[in-house]
């Protein structure tokens, strides 16, 4: 994570975190460019350079800003977007449209129009109505788009229920019922407005097992084979999703190859047996790219010690900048940035400043004795922090800084109280 301790102070990619807090204020998201570049290189080494005819599409939902997407672009990756906003961000970052893949359920007509107008590389169709909507837009604009179908393989992964996406009871994907999936495939094959390339699946997030990927792959390969048998239609692309787990507390992350090599070996063998060329294979890492590359800095405020019950340490952020503990009961590690070598001899609960009892960032955390004004660094917050931030209680969204080898700069400025009013209108009634 590019972290080190010097003179009782936490440094992140060569930068004194207490100085960052003073320069940019807190709460503050901080990303290490060195760590990000290391993840990009790992994707190349363990997947893209190892296996021919492959792509990696960074899942922008994990963290999406123009500055970040420029780094993704320059690393030779594609980008997976799920909204018109993420698509606009990618385009504004100079991302080549052919390297943009548009995913997500319930894409709005305006979003699909934007995708078609800009000629994005792939549209991953999430439902039957979406095909008809896309065809009507393509017909109106005289364009033909490359598409995949997202399917629901019916596999339950071992993770939090809210981040399971591959089971049958899911809002994502097309179920594999005989009377649903094959008419959908035939409709796409016959369409003059779309070029069906293949299939997409995603089983869940923060996974540490290969089993659900392999189980889902077998289901999807069965669909590939049956499509060939029925229609003599050969799939030319498979998207196996992402969801690779990272370290938040004591987890043991696996390399990309650990997940993807068994999938690639099975795909290679399957298509050899079928007598067809192996399709392009795409993966969609998000959390695993940015998660451990980011930390969040807070300033300690009030401290409430309830004897025999709990000691609360309040910070100047909370669920508005990191909703995951409240939403998923997610757990994190933290370091007292200005007391990094002090013994962690207190057990405290770190809470935010929102008017919610559930605004807890860390429960029963071992930390040094903290005082108002101390700087607390919460680790592995690079994914789904800024991207899920809110203005609840009219709190401004924090700034985002990028650091590399002792240098720093802003990726996103801090919202002001005036920003919160900038979209307000007088209805004049």
pLDDT tens column, 314-331: 999 999 999 999 998 999
Q: Would you state the pLDDT for residue 163?
A: 39
pTM score, whole prediction: 0.94
Higher-confidence residue of 155 and 262: namely 262
**Taking the C-alpha atoms of 321, 323, 326 and 332 in order, what is their torsion angle to the nearest 10 degrees?**
-70
CA 28 – CA 16 distance, rounded (Å): 13
CA 262 – CA 3 distance, rounded (Å): 32
CA 92 – CA 304 distance, rounded (Å): 46
Neighbour tally for 165: CB within 10 Å? 22
DSSP string covering 126-173: -SHHHHHHHHHHHHHHT--EEEEEEEE-----SS-GGGB-SSSS-SSS
CA 256 – CA 77 distance, rounded (Å): 15
Q: Would you state the pLDDT for residue 167?
A: 45
| pLDDT-derived band at 171, boundaries 50, 70, 90 | confident
How many helices and strands (H and E) does the chain possess?
Answer: 12, 21
Query: From the centroid of its chain, how far is CA 189?
Result: 31
Kindly report, residue by residue over 232-249, the tens digit of the pLDDT. 999 999 999 999 999 999
Residue pair 249/333 in contact by the 8 Å Cβ criterion: yes
The H or E element containing residue 367 is strand 360-367
Q: Which residue has the tokens 């009013």?
A: 421
Average pLDDT, the chain: 94
Positions annotated as catalytic residues are: 355
Q: Would you state the pLDDT for residue 205?
A: 86
Pairing mode of beta strands 194-200, 145-152? parallel
Q: Which two tokens stand for residue 211?
A: 């089993």
Structural domains of the chain sorted by starting position, each given as residue range(s) with its CATH number in brackets: 3-31+291-417 (2.40.37.10), 64-285 (3.20.20.10)
| pLDDT-derived band at 170, boundaries 50, 70, 90 | low
Q: What is the mean pLDDT of residues 19-25?
A: 98
| pLDDT-derived band at 398, boundaries 50, 70, 90 | very high
Sign of CA dihedral 279, 276, 168, 212: negative
Q: Would you state the pLDDT for residue 168?
A: 52
Kindly report, residue by residue over 349-372, the tens digit of the pLDDT. 999 999 999 999 999 999 999 999
Residue pair 338/374 in contact by the 8 Å Cβ criterion: yes
Kindly report, residue by residue over 128-143, the tens digit of the pLDDT. 899 999 999 999 999 9
Q: What is the mean pLDDT of residues 381-404?
A: 98
Residue pair 120/143 in contact by the 8 Å Cβ criterion: no
Residue 387 has pLDDT above 50, yes or no: yes
Residue 58 has pLDDT above 50, yes or no: yes
What is the widest separation between alpha-carbon atoms in the chain? Answer: 73
Q: Which residue has the tokens 């229920």?
A: 161
Residue 162 has pLDDT above 50, yes or no: no
Is 76 in a helix, a strand, or coil?
coil
Q: Would you state the pLDDT for residue 89?
A: 98
Q: Which residue has the tokens 């080898």?
A: 405
Q: Name which of 118-122, 203-207, 340-344 the model is least confident about.
A: 203-207
């Amino acid at each position: 994570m590019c972290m080190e301790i010097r003179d009782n102070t936490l440094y992140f990619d060569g930068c004194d975190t207490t100085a960052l807090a003073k320069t940019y204020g807190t709460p503050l998201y901080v990303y290490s460019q060195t760590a990000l570049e290391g993840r990009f290189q790992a994707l190349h080494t363990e997947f893209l350079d190892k296996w021919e005819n492959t792509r990696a599409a960074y899942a922008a939902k994990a963290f999406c800003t123009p500055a970040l997407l420029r780094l993704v672009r320059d690393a030779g990756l594609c980008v997976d977007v799920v909204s018109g906003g993420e698509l606009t961000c990618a385009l504004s970052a100079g991302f080549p449209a052919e390297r943009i893949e548009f995913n997500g359920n319930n894409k709005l007509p305006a979003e699909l129009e934007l995708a078609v107008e800009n000629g994005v590389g792939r549209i991953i169709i999430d439902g039957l109505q979406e095909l008809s909507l896309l065809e009507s837009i393509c017909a109106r604009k005289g364009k033909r788009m490359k598409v995949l179908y997202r399917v629901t393989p019916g596999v339950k992964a071992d993770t939090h229920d809210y981040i399971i996406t591959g089971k049958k009871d899911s809002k994502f994907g097309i179920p594999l019922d005989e009377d649903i999936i094959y008419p959908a495939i035939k409709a796409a094959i016959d369409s003059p407005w779309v070029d069906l390339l293949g299939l997409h699946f995603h089983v869940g997030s923060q996974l540490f097992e290969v089993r659900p990927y392999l189980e889902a792959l077998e289901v999807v390969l069965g669909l590939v084979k049956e499509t060939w048998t029925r229609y003599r239609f050969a799939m030319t692309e498979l998207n196996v999703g992402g969801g690779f787990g990272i370290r938040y507390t004591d987890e043991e992350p696996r390399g990309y190859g650990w997940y993807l090599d068994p999938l690639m070996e099975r795909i290679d063998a399957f298509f050899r047996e079928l007598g067809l060329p192996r399709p392009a294979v795409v993966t969609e890492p998000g959390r695993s790219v940015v998660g451990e590359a980011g930390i969040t800095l807070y300033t300690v405020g009030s401290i409430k010690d309830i004897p025999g019950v709990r000691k609360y340490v309040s910070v100047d952020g909370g669920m508005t900048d990191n909703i995951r503990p409240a939403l998923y009961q997610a757990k994190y590690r933290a370091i007292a940035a200005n007391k990094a070598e002090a013994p962690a001899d207190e057990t405290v609960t770190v809470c935010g400043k929102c008017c919610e009892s559930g605004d807890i960032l860390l429960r029963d955390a071992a930390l040094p004795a903290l005082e108002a004004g101390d700087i607390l660094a919460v680790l592995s917050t690079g994914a789904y922090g800024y991207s899920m931030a809110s203005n609840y209680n009219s709190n401004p969204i924090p700034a985002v800084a990028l650091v590399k080898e002792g240098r720093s700069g802003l990726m996103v400025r801090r919202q002001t109280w005036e920003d919160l009013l900038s979209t307000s209108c007088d209805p004049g009634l």
